[in-house]
Amino acid sequence: MSDQTNGDPLARLGTDAETGETMIELQELTKRFPGQETPAVDRLSLSIPKGEIVVFVGPSGCGKTTSLKMINRIIEPSSGHIIIDGEDVTDIDPNHLRRRIGYVIQQIGLFPHIRIAENVATVPHLLGWDKDRTRERVDELLDVVGLPPEQYRERFPKELSGGQRQRVGGARALAADPPVLLMDEPFGAIAPITRTRLQNEFLRLQTELQKTICFVTHDIDEAIKMGDRIAILQEGSRVAQFATPEEILTHPANDFVEDFVGTGATLKRLKLTRVKEVEPTEALTGRVDEDRETLRQRFDASDWTAMLLLDRENKPLRWLRGPDLRQQDRPLEKAGVRTRALVEPQATLSDALEEMLLGAAGVAIVVDRRGAYRGLLDIDAIITSIQTMKDAQAEYYRAAKLADPEDEVPA
């Protein structure tokens, strides 16, 4: 995912070509449920590169979840082979296999009768880690997923919100640091606002963790946002197209893919670019611990119509206009209007655009993960970015054809 720090799709392609190592290899994987004529998964063959997020997406009933669950053999394949990191795991002890694979499901499935810390410690317990190591790891993970351990360790799942539970679900899956993660619609049951935040956090985390991830969703937008590669599946888990999001949006392999991706491909492309890939502009800022008079002078000297007031930790507080700065009776923290439309660098331009439209301000404030101010993103920046993306694409496809002559487009 580190390749995504660069907005240039060429860079992304280059990295993929470099780390050609395959982590998960599915060979002719087939599942036939008893009493059904057609197989649910029909000879699925797919190579999942190390350190990438591969999204299985398709209409309901296409067999994507069954395919995923065959990787850790929650569903035993009828035939075919699963090779993980060079080892054929089709016939090994499934319990040992599963301890090496993180597993996150939509329903989360936290154990309701034990505390959060014990939930997270499930796999370490199974692997026989000692107490201190387990405890340390649990605290570390709760921190990583943004739940302060001293506050959440001793709670029960029912005391957490849906989003928090899914964070715990993620921490539990990562507990023994498995190289592979399987995620079955992990954000499917979570309220939209929280979902976007979790997606962004998850992507940020992945840039550090570099796990190999299989991710199932029915939502093409989520697939485009999360995937390094997307496998669009048809009935029987037949691969309609297996390619990068860019390629799927610009060069759908067939009518099925085109229908599935749907209209508004240009708008969807905004989901491919992240806020951090666009150069933010600087706002006129003032800090709350500065003198009001200094702020006013700076404001008057500029041609800005508003000044962004930051708190002592550089977090955006208020938008101030001239009259707010001249009025003496109201403390600065309460003058002007509250800042809205805050976006993290990990958010997509589509998220940023939505925030701008909601805030009706035409700008979004870029903040880092701690909420400190980083810059401004205005609607012009988004328009420019769409334009460059279009230009780059032509170049990208020339390069792609050169680098990979056997494009993965099924006949």
Partner 1 sequence: MSTSLTPPDSSDRVVPTDAERRQTARDEDAAGVRRARRASLVRYLGMPLFLALVLLGLFLWVGTQELDSIEARTLTAENLLGQTRQHITLTLYSTFFVLLLAVPLGILATRPRLRRYAPVIIGLGNAGQAIPSLGLLALLFYLFRTQPALPSTGPFPVVVSLVGYSFLPILRNTMVGLDQVDRFVLEAGKGMGMSNRKVLRSIELPLAVPVVLAGVRTALVLNVGTAALAFLFGGGGLGETIFAGFQLRRTPVLITGAILVAVLALLVDYLAGLIEEKLTPKGL
- Supply the minimum distance, in Å, between the C-beta of residue 82 and partner 1: 15
Q: Which long-range contacts (CB under 8 A, 24 or more apart) does 201-210 make?
A: 201/145, 201/146, 201/346, 202/170, 202/226, 203/1, 203/4, 203/346, 204/344, 204/346, 204/369, 205/144, 205/145, 206/1, 206/53, 207/1, 207/2, 207/4, 207/5, 209/174, 210/1, 210/2, 210/51
Q: Does 157 interact with partner 1 (rule: CB under 8 A)?
A: yes
Stretch that binds partner 1, among 10-18, 52-60, 113-121, 395-403 (CB under 8 A): 113-121
- Supply the minimum distance, in Å, between the C-beta of residue 132 and partner 1: 21
- Supply the minimum distance, in Å, between the C-beta of residue 172 and partner 1: 7
Q: Does 296 interact with partner 1 (rule: CB under 8 A)?
A: no
- Supply the minimum distance, in Å, between the C-beta of residue 70 and partner 1: 12
Q: Out of 220, 295, 352, 361, which residue is the one contacting partner 1 (CB under 8 A)?
A: 361
Q: Out of 103, 152, 242, 299, which residue is the one contacting partner 1 (CB under 8 A)?
A: 103
Q: Does 92 interact with partner 1 (rule: CB under 8 A)?
A: no
Q: Does 108 interact with partner 1 (rule: CB under 8 A)?
A: yes
Q: Out of 98, 135, 296, 298, which residue is the one contacting partner 1 (CB under 8 A)?
A: 98
Q: Which is nearer to partner 1, 24 or 173 (CB)?
A: 173
Q: Out of 52, 222, 324, 344, which residue is the one contacting partner 1 (CB under 8 A)?
A: 324
Q: Does 147 interact with partner 1 (rule: CB under 8 A)?
A: no
- Supply the minimum distance, in Å, between the C-beta of residue 165 and partner 1: 11
Q: Out of 301, 360, 383, 402, which residue is the one contacting partner 1 (CB under 8 A)?
A: 360
22-31: strand order across its sheet: 41-49, 22-31, 79-84, 87-88
Q: Does 390 interact with partner 1 (rule: CB under 8 A)?
A: no
Stretch that binds partner 1, among 169-177, 258-266, 348-356, 387-395 (CB under 8 A): 169-177
Stretch that binds partner 1, among 191-199, 334-342, 346-354, 389-397 (CB under 8 A): 334-342
Q: Does 126 interact with partner 1 (rule: CB under 8 A)?
A: yes
Cα–Cα distance for residue pair 11/391, rounded to 1 Å: 15
Chain residues in the site for partner 1 (CB under 8 A): 72, 74, 94-100, 103, 105, 107-115, 122-123, 126, 156-158, 169, 172-173, 182, 305-306, 319, 321, 324, 330, 334-338, 340, 359-361
